[in-house]
């Protein structure tokens, strides 16, 4: 629900009760604003009945919150038209706003349950209010056009070690196979979040990822090795990293001997670089 409208309803209750809301409904809105614990019955009543009235009032205001630079003006207007048709808090993000060529229009709708589906060029993604605290969701919101305004504090958790290394290995494979390194954005995002302490918006993430993609092959691998190494070293203990990278090296050696993969030397060199850093830190 739109927080500003809810506050207005509570602060000017005499203008809304009993014409649009009952006294009980306003009490529940106030309870929601105060983040007080509600019973299941109260929650059902709030989201099934009260939220629909609040969302309808949101439409009358037709307020849009534009966050980010270098958006294509005609896309901004198109995004506003789409948001007017949605009777829920929502925002539009992604390449549609800044790129001449785009795959689809990413429309994030705040709802009670998660869902994702396509409707023509539109990619509609249902996310919960809790999901907005996740860094990737917040990254999208930080470069978007929205029909709501909300202060959100990110819930930052470290990524699993094996997931980071798997993504790194996948990106290196894609480089050797001359494929688009789509997963590189995950490494770049986590590097800036965990190492630089910076939550990149989706446009900044695109630009920084593209800079690496445009590098010559050798320089690209050096850069990816560097940021992945820094990410691992700041996120996990040196003893743990050394043990995991030793196992990783053994696995890559076996695969290299069996399949003669050309990326094996790069992966082994990376593992040794990381292990050397761990040894120096523990010396």
CA distance 28 to 45: 9
Residues 175-233: tens digit of each pLDDT: 999 999 999 999 999 999 999 999 999 999 999 999 999 999 999 999 999 999 999 99
Query: Predicted confidence band at 150 (pLDDT cuts at 50, 70, 90)?
Result: confident
Query: What is the helix (H) or strand (E) element at residue 162, kind and residue range?
Result: helix 161-176
DSSP state of 65: E
What integer pLDDT is reported at residue 61 of this predicted model? Answer: 64
Over 70: is that where the pLDDT of 60 sits?
no
The pLDDT mean for the chain works out to 92
Q: Which of 5-14, 45-54, 158-167, 273-282 has the highest mean pLDDT?
A: 158-167
Instruction: Kindly give the residue spans of alpha helices, DSSP state H, lying in 17-84.
Output: 23-33, 40-45, 51-61, 73-84
């Amino acid at each position: 629900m739109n927080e500003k409208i809810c506050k207005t309803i509570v602060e000017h209750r005499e203008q809304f009760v009993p014409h649009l809301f009952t006294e009980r409904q306003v009490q529940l809105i106030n309870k929601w604003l105060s983040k007080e614990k509600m019973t299941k019955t109260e929650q059902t009543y709030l989201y099934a009945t009260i939220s629909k009235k609040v969302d309808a009032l949101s439409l009358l205001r037709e307020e849009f919150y534009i966050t980010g630079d270098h958006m294509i003006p005609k896309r901004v207007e198109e995004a506003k038209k789409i948001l007017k048709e949605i009777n829920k808090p929502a925002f539009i993000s992604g390449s549609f706003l800044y790129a001449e060529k785009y795959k689809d229009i990413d429309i994030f709708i705040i709802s009670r349950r998660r869902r994702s589906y396509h409707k023509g060029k539109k990619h509609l993604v249902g996310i919960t209010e809790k999901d907005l605290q996740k860094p990737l969701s917040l990254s999208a919101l930080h470069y978007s056009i929205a029909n709501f305004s909300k202060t959100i504090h990110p819930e930052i958790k470290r990524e699993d070690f094996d997931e980071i290394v798997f993504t790194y290995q996948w990106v290196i494979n894609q480089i050797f196979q001359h494929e688009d390194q789509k997963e590189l954005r995950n490494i770049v995002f986590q590097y800036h979040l965990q190492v630089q302490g910076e939550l990149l918006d989706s446009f900044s993430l695109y630009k920084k990822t593209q800079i690496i993609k445009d590098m010559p092959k050798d320089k690209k691998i050096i850069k990816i090795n560097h940021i992945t190494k820094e990410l691992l070293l700041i996120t996990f203990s040196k003893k743990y990293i050394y043990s995991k990278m030793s196992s990783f090296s053994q696995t890559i050696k076996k695969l290299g001997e069996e399949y003669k993969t050309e990326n094996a030397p790069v992966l082994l060199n990376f593992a040794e670089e990381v292990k050397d850093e761990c040894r120096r830190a523990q010396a």
